[in-house]
Amino acid sequence: MSAFVRVSGPPNRHFLVGYPGISATLPRIEGKVEIRPSVGISAPVNISLVTISLQRRETIHPAADSVTKKHLKAPRKEITDIVGKEMLLFRCPAGKEYEEIISMDLPFVLFIPFGRGGQETARRVPPASLQLPSRTAETYYEMVVMVQQGQAEQKKYTFPVPISRYDTLSTFGMYSRPESAERVSDHLVTLGISLPRWSYGPLDPISVYIKLSPNPDWLNKAKRVTIQKITIGIDEEIIYNHEGDEPQRKVKTLAKQVQTVGVKMPEAGYFTNCGLVFPSKDLRDSDGIIPRGKPAFPMYSVSGFTTTGSLYKIEYYLTVKAHLTSAKDILLRQPIVVCPFDHADCKDEMEAIEQSAKEAAYVNSENPMLPLPTIVRPHDHNALHYIGMTYVGRQKKPLIE
């Protein structure tokens, strides 16, 4: 008899507990595997072994966004990894091939690694779930329940789990320290920039302090330089197969702002502030309705964010270009971090993260104190009650409590 398998989370809560990427919250997936007869309701199911694991699937196809190249280039590349450890939920006693089961509820907890395992893949912080436009790259997670029924083939049941990362929130202090950089052209002019913070989300304002200063040793030549305009932009760089032999890069400009200057280089230098807003993706359709999202992917207001997987990596740069005459143009690319949440959402999450860390302090990852499994066998007292049936005389009838 085949089994009906379902995974349910804690009451009124999601499977995912804690915040992936933040070790103090002990990110984990909690719930229970429910096994019932799939046909005949009350006919017992033979169960030998039940395990559960969290599986990450990652695929890339850099040419998928081009109709002409899609069929000519190499096929989609895919890898599958187990995140953390596989958990054994049930094994029938030694000497028995299987156990007959009417109902089975098996509690589990799968701890998500939080980055203390060095270079071991199974212990790295897993990248967030993401699907790029045209599926050029995607990462998604699923819980895999493996059920062995006697001598029959092992059956695997998959349940998608969307996972977000919270270690790039723009409200963290590490991203609020000002960042500065300089670049020189022809030894005549130095371009310097300063960023008040370097993590941004959708619709977050980006403000850049820009300084163009002449070389004091070549002051006469430097004063002949004319500053035509200053361009600032945000570049998205996707590197496919970045750990392989032939990495492939794709760079796209997401936003651009041009400030016309048209002045000669002053002796004291030229200072200005430029700004632009990080672009946001509208989640609503043409009727103004937010469509139902895919179960494996969270809905983000950005097309992508800073992330590193096994097959691809996404990086973002703030580019500042000074267009000059009588000197070479100066281009400066400053790495920034892009978070899938805007600054207001990041602030809202901080209190919840703090509370989650307090709750996690009472959890022992070595022995998480799970509830006992509930296993009902055919000969147990009132066994049919667990599946909503009972005996009336010698007939099985629905149970009315």
Distance CA 131, CA 64 (A): 12
CA angle 370, 372, 375 (to 5 degrees): 140
- Which tokens hold the place of 369? 């104190």
pLDDT at 394: 72
Give the sign of the dihedral formed by CA 190, CA 196, CA 201, CA 202.
negative
- Which tokens hold the place of 218? 């070549």
pLDDT at 206: 92
Tell me if 32 sits within 8 A of 11, measured CB to CB. Answer: no
DSSP character at residue 48: -
pTM: 0.86
Q: How far does CA 209 lie from the centroid of its chain?
A: 32
| First-residue to last-residue Cα distance in the chain | 28
Tell me if 261 sits within 8 A of 227, measured CB to CB. Answer: yes
* Per-residue pLDDT of the chain in tens (401 residues, 90 and over written 9): 688 899 998 888 888 899 998 888 999 999 999 998 887 666 788 899 999 999 999 998 887 766 556 555 667 888 998 988 899 999 988 888 888 888 899 999 999 887 654 455 445 788 999 998 888 899 999 999 999 988 888 899 999 999 999 989 999 988 888 889 998 877 888 999 999 998 999 999 999 999 999 888 888 888 888 999 999 999 999 999 877 777 888 999 999 999 998 899 888 889 999 989 999 988 787 788 888 888 888 888 888 899 998 889 999 999 999 999 888 899 999 999 999 999 999 999 999 999 999 999 998 888 888 888 888 887 777 767 666 677 677 777 776 76
Q: Is 186 left (phi over 0), alpha (psi -120 to 50) or beta?
A: left
State the number of CA atoms in the 13 A half-sphere of 172 facing the CB. 16
Dihedral in degrees, nearest 10, Cα atoms 133, 137, 139, 145? 100
Residue 291 has a CB neighbour count (10 Å cut-off) of: 10
DSSP for 177-239 reads S-EEEEEEETTTEEEEEEES--EE-TT-EEEEEEEEEE-GGGHHHHTT-EEEEEEEEEEEEEE
Distance CA 237, CA 182 (A): 21
Length of the chain: 401
Dihedral in degrees, nearest 10, Cα atoms 281, 284, 288, 291? 180
pLDDT at 105: 92
Helix (H/G/I), strand (E/B), else coil: 360 = helix
